[in-house]
């Protein structure tokens, strides 16, 4: 089995790096594309170092038309044979035509235990609420905000955490375990969505 992965990232790209280090080139899994909305994203440099094709898709280059930008991005990824798209710190919503092009093949990593704290600044939201348990969710992307079927979650008790830095120090480590784990599951054909309710994600052993 082979799996070609495209990663979209806006920032530091530490999750991209975890994928490069842990799954790229193993068990038929290959990261073939890294796209970004930000020309200065460190993720692009990481792609270059790993010899992975990369491209910038700034909305301004498409007359501020998000749909047109996303279609160009989908064309580029399809042209490279991408089977699975991973949003790894990609700070844009992807529009419906993109999701149609990659139906049930776009996943995201979110730094909270969904459905709690979707959207921006999830960790800030959780801190403001005063939760004692934080966590990470890897989920399918649908047309809503962090609302797609959940693939994998892991929780961590941090009763004394008060700052984003304290929480992210732990959550980043969790993300860097979970995301490669999930991509490996896709690479070995173990992930499917229950056809009856369209909501339960089934992971086979
Ligand atoms: C991660 O914390 C992820 O949960 C969120 O954005 C951050 C990206 O970090 N969606 P990095 O760019 O992978 O270092």
Summarize pLDDT for 105-124 with one digit per residue, the tens.
Answer: 999 999 999 999 999 999 99
pLDDT of residue 198: 86
pLDDT value at 182 more than 90: yes
Which one of the listed residues 110, 139, 172, 176 is annotated catalytic? Answer: 110
Where residue 1 falls among pLDDT bands split at 50, 70, 90? confident
**Which residue's CA is minimally distant from atom 6 of ligand 1?**
89
Using CA atoms, how far residue 174 sits from 24, 44, 46, 47, in Å, is: 19, 23, 20, 22
Which residues, at least 6 apart from 92, have a Cβ–Cβ distance to it below 8 Å? 10, 37, 59, 66
Residue 15 near ligand 1, beta carbon < 6 Å:
yes
C-alpha 195 to ligand 1 mean position (Å): 30
110 is catalytic: yes
- Look up tokens 């949003």; give the residue: 87
Residue spans of alpha helices (H) in 87-139 = 96-101, 122-129
* Residue from 166, 175, 178, 182 to probe ligand 1 pocket by mutation (most atoms less than 8 Å from CB): 175
CA distance 101 to 50: 27
| Mean pLDDT, the chain, whole residue set | 97
Residue 88 near ligand 1, beta carbon < 6 Å:
yes
146 SS3 class = coil
Q: What's the whole-model pTM score?
A: 0.97
Average pLDDT over residues 10-33: 98
**Which residue's CA is minimally distant from atom 14 of ligand 1?**
14
Summarize pLDDT for 34-72 with one digit per residue, the tens.
Answer: 999 999 999 999 999 999 999 999 999 999 999 999 999
Summarize pLDDT for 123-170 with one digit per residue, the tens.
Answer: 999 999 999 999 999 999 999 999 999 999 999 999 999 999 999 999
- Look up tokens 């009763």; give the residue: 159
pLDDT of residue 26: 97
The separation between CA 69 and the C-alpha centre of its own chain, rounded to angstroms, equals 18
C-alpha 144 to ligand 1 mean position (Å): 19
C-alpha 160 to ligand 1 mean position (Å): 22
pLDDT of residue 18: 98
Would you give the DSSP letter of residue 7? E
């Amino acid at each position: 089995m082979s799996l070609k992965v495209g990663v979209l990232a806006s920032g530091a790209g530490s999750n991209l790096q975890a994928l490069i280090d842990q799954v790229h080139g193993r068990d038929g899994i290959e990261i073939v594309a890294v796209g970004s909305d930000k020309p200065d994203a460190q993720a692009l440099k990481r792609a270059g170092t790993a010899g992975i094709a990369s491209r910038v898709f700034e909305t301004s280059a498409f007359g501020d038309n998000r749909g047109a930008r996303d279609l160009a991005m989908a064309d580029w990824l399809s042209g490279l044979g991408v089977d699975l798209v991973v949003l790894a710190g990609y700070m844009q919503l992807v529009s419906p035509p993109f999701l149609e092009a990659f139906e049930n093949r776009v996943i995201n990593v979110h730094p909270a235990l969904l459905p709690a704290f979707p959207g921006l600044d999830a960790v800030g939201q959780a801190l403001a609420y005063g939760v004692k348990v934080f966590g990470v969710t890897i989920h399918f992307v649908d047309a809503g905000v962090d609302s797609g079927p959940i693939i994998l979650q892991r929780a961590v008790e941090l009763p004394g955490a008060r700052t984003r830095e304290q929480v992210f120090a732990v959550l980043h480590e969790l993300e860097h375990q979970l995301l490669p784990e999930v991509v490996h599951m896709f690479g070995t054909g173990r992930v499917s969505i229950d056809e009856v309710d369209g909501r339960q994600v089934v992971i086979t052993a």
